Amino acid sequence: MSYSYENLKVYQKSLDFSVMVIQLVETLETNRKHYRLIEQLESAATSVAMNIAEGKGRYSKKEFKHFLYIARGSLFETIALLQIFKKLNWLKTDTYNSLYTESVEIHKMLSGLINSI
């Protein structure tokens, strides 16, 4: 058995994105006194896929669309945090660029799905 949201490419891509961010966090070499920022990054990144799933589970197009907007906001929050990490030199430019490229694709997919509802 599978749930309908699992078949959405944007969900699958968001899930992969969250795993990439969590794996990044495991490699960060920073003073752990900033754990709140690190936790916020993990929370925002995982929230994208979770909001897609939760919204699909509401069985209402209006509510699903609302949760897609929340997912898109979480994606933007993730990128803002990654930009902060990059400015603090906690994150290499190539790693940032890779995650940013993924986020642009997810953003396009979310916006397309929102517009289709």
pLDDT digits (tens, 9 = 90+) for 27-62: 887 766 778 999 999 999 999 999 999 999 998 999
How far CA 47 is from CA of 31, 32, 75, 90, 93, in Å, comes to 25, 22, 8, 22, 24
The Cα–Cα gap between 69 and 40 comes to: 19
pLDDT of residue 8 exceeding 80, the answer is yes
CATH number of the domain at 53, please: 1.20.1440.60
Give a yes or no: residue 54 inside a domain. yes
With cut-offs at 50, 70 and 90, classify the pLDDT of residue 102: very high
Give a yes or no: residue 46 inside a domain. yes
Residues 6+ apart with CB under 8 A from 98: 20
Give a yes or no: residue 57 inside a domain. yes
**Could you list the residue range(s) of the whole structural domain that residue 95 is in?**
31-116
Give a yes or no: residue 10 inside a domain. no
The Cα–Cα gap between 15 and 33 comes to: 28
- Say how many domains are in the chain: 1
Give a yes or no: residue 93 inside a domain. yes
The pLDDT value recorded for residue 2 is 84
What are the tens digits of pLDDT across the range 70-85?
Answer: 999 999 999 999 999 9
